[in-house]
Amino acid sequence: MKRVYSSYNLAAVHHARNVLEAEGIRAVVKNQYLSSGMGDLPPAECQPELWILNDADLWRAEKLLYAPPQAGPEWRCACGESLGGQFTQCWRCEAYRTA
Ligand SMILES: [Zn+2]
């Protein structure tokens, strides 16, 4: 078991778990009911945490959670439209990206 993520935002922790599970990485959320103990326990120990079950998934899990989106710089089509790096085709004139 390895901790891959923690946040005071429980929804964010669950979202991270969904991202991993969608890729076939088994993960569990810990401490999700501990926040009521805030004040009695050190805050860092009350934070919901995401743990992966198989240590071998650690590298993939961190890549999924922390890698920036796979998008290059914006490009400009011959028609003058400016497009995000994730697009390979102009939505305006349907020309394909050349560079
Ligand atoms: Zn275009």
Q: pLDDT tens for residues 56-82?
A: 999 999 988 987 666 678 899 999 999
What is the rounded CA–CA span in Å between residue 14 and residue 22? 12
CA of 71 to the centre of ligand 1 (A): 19
CA of 68 to the centre of ligand 1 (A): 26
Supply the pLDDT for residue 85.
83
Supply the pLDDT for residue 32.
83
Q: Walk along the chain (99 residues) and give the pLDDT tens digit of each residue.
A: 999 999 989 999 999 999 999 999 999 999 887 655 556 666 556 789 999 999 999 999 998 898 766 667 889 999 999 998 888 899 999 999 875
What is the rounded CA–CA span in Å between residue 5 and residue 69? 18
* Residue 3: φ, ψ to 5°: -80, 130
Supply the pLDDT for residue 51.
97
Supply the pLDDT for residue 35.
54
CA of 91 to the centre of ligand 1 (A): 7
CA of 83 to the centre of ligand 1 (A): 9
Q: What is the pTM of this model?
A: 0.60
CA of 79 to the centre of ligand 1 (A): 4
Which DSSP category does 79 fall into?
A: T
Kindly list the distances between the CA atom of residue 51 and the CA atoms of 7, 18, 75, in Å, as whole numbers in the listed order: 12, 12, 39
Supply the pLDDT for residue 20.
96
